[in-house]
Amino acid sequence: MQFDPPLEEGRLLRRYKRFLADIETTGGELMTIHCANTGSMLNCMSEGARVWFSRSNDPKRKLPGSWEIGETPHGRLACINTARANALVEEALHAGVITELEGFTALKREVPYGQERSRIDFRLEYPSGFAFVEVKSVTLGFAETDVAAFPDARTERGAKHLRELAALARGGVRAVQLYCVNLSGITAVRPASEIDPAYASALGEAKDAGVEVLAYGVDISPAGIRVARPLDVKL
């Protein structure tokens, strides 16, 4: 995924009301831009840190830009726009980067499924049947380790998705939880049991039920982002 036009740089003044961020561009312009991240963004931002944003000329938009990448307090780069994760994974699927999921003949997005009325991010079709793939964007890192963690806040919705995947796996359907780690300098990912023990427990139960747990890291820069390599999963 290349950014066209290229991202512009600024510095973060504050993030507030969840979806708003005040920034100052390198040219001294003060702007309020959209923050497309519903999480806590724990360890993912700090006031005064560098940010990169995309600018929109759409007159119908209330805000003139979107925050895409941020410099974390630990000097890493993080894609804070969680809406990018599915597009990155889809691009990687078609390119054959995610080798465990190669060979599909059709891909559908946002397919309804499950007893709890969920929607799967991707349903892949193979000659042998379907694979249901749930994607989560990971941006929580720590200074003392290159192991990222998910989630950065309690997520009942995330636990529900794991229950749905586990039910599929028990029924003989291929089910995959895929972590897209949108953070530089990371070699592995783990459940953040200290933040959401219920999610960590649900992940363990899903794994025991036969759900495949995969993680992939990205190459990230203001020029573009791409899924690049498999990462270890530490359960």
The 3-class SS string of 2-30 reads: ECCCCCEEEEEEEEECCCEEEEEECCCCE
The region that residue 4 occupies, defined by phi over 0 for left and psi between -120 and 50 for alpha, beta otherwise, is: beta
Give the burial class of 69: count Cβ atoms within 10 A of its Cβ; 0-12 exposed, 13-18 middle, 19 or more buried: buried
- Per-residue pLDDT 10s for the chain (235 aa) are 999 888 999 999 999 998 999 999 999 999 999 999 988 999 999 999 999 999 988 888 899 999 999 999 999 999 999 989 999 999 999 999 999 999 999 999 999 999 999 999 999 999 999 999 999 999 999 999 999 999 999 999 999 999 999 999 999 999 999 999 999 999 999 999 999 999 999 999 999 999 999 999 999 999 999 999 999 999 9
Are 8-79 and 84-233 in the same CATH fold? Answer: no
The pair of three-digit structure tokens given for residue 64, joined into one six-digit string = 């003139």
What pLDDT was estimated at residue 70? 97
**The model's pTM:** 0.95
What pLDDT was estimated at residue 151? 97
What pLDDT was estimated at residue 39? 83
Domains in the chain: boundaries: 8-79, 84-233
Query: Is it true that domain 84-233 has CATH number 3.40.50.2000?
Result: no
In our burial notation (b when 16+ CB lie closer than 10 A, e otherwise), range 15-32 reads beeeeebebebeeeeebb
Cα–Cα dist 144/133, whole Å: 31
What pLDDT was estimated at residue 150? 97
Query: Is it true that domain 8-79 has CATH number 2.40.50.580?
Result: yes
What pLDDT was estimated at residue 56? 86
